Amino acid sequence: MKSSHFHRAAAWALVPLLLLLAGWLYLYTHSHSVDTLAQGQTLAWLKDLKQLDSDWSADVLRSHADIHLDYDALVAPLVPFVDGLARLRKLAGQAPGLAAATDELAQAIEAKAALIDDFKAQNSLFKNSLRYVPTAHRDIQSRWPAGSTQLDRRLAFLVNEAMRYSALPDGAVATSLLQGIAGLRTGSAPVPPPLREAVANLLAHLDTLLRLRSRQSDLLRAISQVPVAARIDSLAAQFTQRFDAELASQFRYQRLLLAYSAVALLLVSSGAGFIAYRNATERRRLRLLVEEKTHELNELATRDELTRLHNRRHITELLAQQMASHARSGLPICIALLDIDHFKTINDRHGHAAGDAVLLRFATLARQVLRAVDLLGRWGGEEFLVLLPQTSLDQAELALQRFGDALAQIDFGELGREIRISFSGGLVLLAPSETLVTAVGRADEAMYRAKTAGRRRIEKG
């Protein structure tokens, strides 16, 4: 009953512990909600992105002066920008306040990409025309050998000026080219009929070179002016502001967690101490109960219920152990069987209660008179077996006589009757290599002789 009550109390004690744990987990989660590593990596990535945009803008300006710069050098920086948009949108999804800044950066990157796509298309046309002009001039020269003609000089001048303008745009060169092209078209220099179509195509390509080169300058300036860096700065500032706010919130939760942990630890320690005390008390009670029941069971298994002497089974085991020790040491051991004289008459005349009192008094006196090393057990009914280790036959006989004399002095007057008891005994000395059955049988024969010889005596076997 007590154990059941204790377990119910322990079960109820778990409820506040679970509530404490839930509260602690809530505070712990919020006190570790900021991923400082991820935040640091994001800010570092935005810084690298800004540097990439700065380098990108420088490459665009350099390409304005170097017409042979590969277009791929301008397109390559778009890759990390485009790849980073997915990451930025994911972060913005976790923090809605960053969505607007992320969209503005995405729009700036898309605008820059669109301008570069336009630049790529025009740059392709420009390079085609640039390659065509020298080829067309050589074709005209092959079809009409040049020399000192005015047309050849005009065409050579225009081609050279076009190449110079393509390499380094200059307003004066552009003006000269436009005037030269206009003069040829108005007939300032006669063009033979077979060459008119070729000259017209050449002039058209020269005009295209001028127009595309001028348009390239405008596109490159527009590309460099797209505010990608400003959008990155704005996004980084908002990330930093949000990160600072989250850190401040995390610090508050950490302080709360510290205080909560101290209180929870105090409560848990108190509860654990109480439970430990109750467990220790319960274990001690159960240990004592087990020891008590074990002792009771051992007593029931090895002791005679009335006299509390060793019962026949146990005294037999003890005899076997002593005989094994005797075989090793060679020291003498005596065995005696004692039978209370006229015990049946006592039972018949005075009742079984008186008989039980006689048996109990007999056993009590035997424990008092005999040595502590001597073993005494109830063999059956009114018969008792005594084992006297390290004792010669004469010494054993004297010990049993002292016990018989003391037994004769017992007064059973408290029973209201005149009862005197004695015993008849058979005493033997254990012979070398003798078995237990043989030794007890010899003692039983000697006891029978004592009873036949008149009782109240000890016969040696």
Catalytic residues: 382
Residue with tokens 């065509």: 132
* Chain centroid offset of residue 319 CA: 60
Query: Is 427 within 8 Å of 459 (Cβ atoms)?
Result: yes
* Chain centroid offset of residue 243 CA: 30
Token output for 308: 């509390």
Q: Residue 404 and residue 219: Cα distance in Å, rounded?
A: 137
**SS3 at position 342:** coil
Residue with tokens 């796509």: 117
Token output for 446: 């000697």
Q: Residue 56 and residue 52: Cα distance in Å, rounded?
A: 6
Token output for 238: 């908002």
Strand-pair partners of 303: 310
Q: Residue 90 and residue 78: Cα distance in Å, rounded?
A: 19
Q: Residue 437 and residue 85: Cα distance in Å, rounded?
A: 103
Query: Is 445 within 8 Å of 336 (Cβ atoms)?
Result: no
Residues near 88 by beta carbon (within 8 Å), at least 6 away in sequence: 102, 105, 106, 235
